[in-house]
Amino acid sequence: MHTRRLKALTVLTASCLALVAAAAGACSSAKPGQTQLDVEIFGDMGYRDLYTRYEQSHPGIKIVEHVVSYDDHHKNLQAHLLGGSGTGDIEAIDGGYIAQFRVMADKFVDFRDYGATPGQWLPWKSQQATGANGQLMGLGADVGGLAMCYRRDLFAQAGLPTDRDQVAALWPDWQSYIATGKRFKAGAPDGVAWFDSGSNVFNAIIGQAPVGYTATSNKVVVAENPAVKRAFNLAVEAVQAGESAKLATFSQQWNAGFQRGSFATVACPAWMTDTIKQNAPQTSGKWDIATIPGGSGNWGGSFLTVPKQSKHQKEAAELARYLTAPEQASWIFRTQGHLPSQASLYNDPAVLGNTNAFFNNAPTGQLFTEAAKNLRPQYQGPKDGDIGPLIGLGITRVDKGKQRPAQAWDQVLKDVANATEP
């Protein structure tokens, strides 16, 4: 019985964490009279220097950061909210999980009580963290934006233009992106695909639709919404034309694909520029970035929240506001590349003027802010995070030749029904 073991494990982990937290509290340098704030995040968000600065200007505050892996972080948060204890004072939540936690918005502090106004952030960003009664449960940290990273050298070999404006002109919409892929395949070296995986293309297409998987009533509309079927059909057309490298995102083979040049384009949020650089440092200068087909998009990004379990809600909310304020977000972008979500920074010359040498000095500031700003707000339901991968699997089945598109779609609908029934 696995749940049994899982449960025992969860209990153990929780008690260990409590022990560790207690021990950390006991051993930490928080002096008597100081308030310790525990910040729990799932990756490097670039806050370390900011903590030091904040502690200097707030002598009564001691900040301790705990970093856990992406999956575990969100599972722990879920378990601690259910169990009623164990969360930190500040908890980061990824954009892919925010809709799921929004169902429990009443377990989080409403930042409007602490002076935050939703209008400080991009409209769709704040909307994602707004509960049923209008409470603002999360402050926007970074966003992904979305552009198209492409290999200049492979484009040249296939006889396509390499200049980023000319490349962007090749694909004003997804239909022309797929058509360009067919041209590319005709002239490209053997074994080089047009993009990494059909599910990434699908995600980018559906992200631009006014309605996604869920209606504002929280009803799942995958079967009824023509935009979902249209995005599925486009992605399926592309994989059937042999444009996909059939690589699962974040798998080892996908990582290796960057090194081997297995594909010529990849839908690219701001944070992925760093992924490519780390994965394939030897491809420096071979890459460039152009506008995404359709002109807008987002992938990833995160929020800061304060669970009501926190014993220092006021201090934690103040710290969260400081960490997500425009001045700090701009500094993080300039030093570490996380794209800000604060509306005021979208006219900031320091942000807009940013370029990336690894990508042939592409104007990343301009490209990513443009995509994020143009994104039409799309309502995210609590199940959206589960539904996307299930549709992705359907596209993969077509890609691998296991199913015809109609069969794959039928199974997608069956999978979605299985995932969304109570």
Site of interaction with another protein (CB under 8 A) = 1-8, 11, 75, 78, 100, 103-104, 248-254, 256, 382-383, 386, 389, 393, 396-397, 400, 402-403, 418-422
Distance CA 101, CA 74 (A): 9
Distance CA 372, CA 48 (A): 26
In the chain, count of helices (H) and strands (E)?
18, 10
Distance CA 35, CA 108 (A): 20
Residue 161 Cβ vs another protein, minimum distance, rounded to whole Å: 30
CB neighbourhood size of 402 (10 A): 10
Question: Measuring CA to CA, how many Å separate 180 from each of 229, 292, 300?
Answer: 22, 13, 27
Residue 235 Cβ vs another protein, minimum distance, rounded to whole Å: 14
Distance CA 50, CA 59 (A): 14
Q: Which is nearer to another protein, 98 or 362 (CB)?
A: 98
Q: Which is nearer to another protein, 138 or 337 (CB)?
A: 138
Q: Which is nearer to another protein, 1 or 186 (CB)?
A: 1
CA dihedral 338, 344, 346, 349 (to 10 degrees): -90
DSSP string, 112-126: GGGT--GGGB-HHHH
Distance CA 217, CA 237 (A): 32
Are 306 and 189 in contact by the 8 Å Cβ rule? The answer is no
Residue 251 Cβ vs another protein, minimum distance, rounded to whole Å: 3
Structure tokens at 260: 């081997």
Residue 387 Cβ vs another protein, minimum distance, rounded to whole Å: 10
Residue 9 Cβ vs another protein, minimum distance, rounded to whole Å: 9
Burial class for 155, CB neighbours closer than 10 Å (0-12, 13-18, 19+)? buried
Residue 395 Cβ vs another protein, minimum distance, rounded to whole Å: 9
Residue 118 Cβ vs another protein, minimum distance, rounded to whole Å: 23
Q: Which is nearer to another protein, 320 or 391 (CB)?
A: 391
DSSP string, 43-85: S--S-HHHHHHHHHH-TTEEEEEEE--HHHHHHHHHHHHHHT-
Q: Which is nearer to another protein, 21 or 104 (CB)?
A: 104
Residue 182 Cβ vs another protein, minimum distance, rounded to whole Å: 23
Q: Which is nearer to another protein, 313 or 403 (CB)?
A: 403
Q: Which is nearer to another protein, 161 or 388 (CB)?
A: 388
Q: Which is nearer to another protein, 104 or 211 (CB)?
A: 104
